[in-house]
Amino acid sequence: MELSKQNKIKNFFKRYGVMIIAGVFVVAIALTVGLTLPASQQVSTTSLDFTAPMLNAEITKDFSDTDLQYNENLNRWEIHLGIDFAGENNAVFSVLDGTVLSVTNNSLEGYVVEIEHADGFTSVYSSLGENVLVKEGDTVEGGQQIGEASNTATSEFTDSQLHFCLLKDGVEVDPNLYIDLQNK
């Protein structure tokens, strides 16, 4: 009977030993990568103090990277990777200190200002009026006026509004996670 148990154990390891060793190997690699990768990445110790892109403005369309929202102007359903603002005062402000990467104009988005900030953040302000107050290469401060919201974008707006996007390392992120827009 003892010999039968030994044969069963041998057969088990003959049959499943390779898979067990492969599983242990995969777990070891995952632990090695998981434990060493964060240590090699630098973490910023600076705190960024975001300001709102418009003051006393209403959010007319919020950020949504999962739920489709209907775009009446383009007659289609789409995700909305920014926040639309409208207010009585159309002044638009930089949300952080940074450098103006570009100032462009196109029929879908209107006048667009893109500003590079610290820690991999980039802010994008679309549907600005033609009197943009900054140019490519300018250094701006958080809270500095860069232009005014308007209706130059044909992709979404009929009234004066600002379409604001925030990117982290080149990927659109929800501005609500970084800016207290409900209390500004």
Q: Note the pLDDT tens digit of each residue in 162-182.
A: 999 999 999 999 998 998 876
Instruction: Kindly state whether residues 36 and 63 are assigned to the same domain.
Output: no
- The answer as to whether 51 is a domain residue is no
178: domain range? 58-183
Outline where DSSP puts E strands in 72-109: 76-80, 83-86, 91-93, 98-106
Give the chain's domain count: 2
Instruction: Kindly state whether residues 146 and 172 are assigned to the same domain.
Output: yes
pLDDT recorded at residue 33: 64
Instruction: Kindly state whether residues 174 and 126 are assigned to the same domain.
Output: yes
pLDDT recorded at residue 22: 66
- The answer as to whether 52 is a domain residue is no
- The answer as to whether 48 is a domain residue is no
Instruction: Kindly state whether residues 33 and 77 are assigned to the same domain.
Output: no
Q: Check which CATH number belongs to the domain holding 158 and give it.
A: 2.70.70.10
Instruction: Kindly state whether residues 156 and 97 are assigned to the same domain.
Output: yes
Instruction: Kindly state whether residues 80 and 30 are assigned to the same domain.
Output: no
Instruction: Kindly state whether residues 6 and 83 are assigned to the same domain.
Output: no
Instruction: Kindly state whether residues 69 and 29 are assigned to the same domain.
Output: no
Tokens read off for 40:
């090699």
Tokens read off for 82:
């920014």
With beta carbons less than 8 A apart as the criterion, state whether 111 and 65 touch. Answer: no
Instruction: Kindly state whether residues 68 and 29 are assigned to the same domain.
Output: no
pLDDT recorded at residue 38: 47
Residue stretches of the chain with pLDDT short of 70: 1-3, 5-6, 12-13, 17-18, 22-23, 25-26, 28, 30-47, 73, 155-158, 182-184
Instruction: Kindly state whether residues 36 and 96 are assigned to the same domain.
Output: no
pLDDT recorded at residue 151: 87
Instruction: Kindly state whether residues 114 and 166 are assigned to the same domain.
Output: yes
Place of tokens 């300018």: 138
This prediction has a pTM of: 0.70
pLDDT recorded at residue 41: 39
Instruction: Kindly state whether residues 94 and 23 are assigned to the same domain.
Output: no
First to last CA, the chain: 79
Outline where DSSP puts E strands in the chain: 58-61, 64-71, 76-80, 83-86, 91-93, 98-106, 110-116, 121-128, 139-140, 145-148, 162-168, 171-173
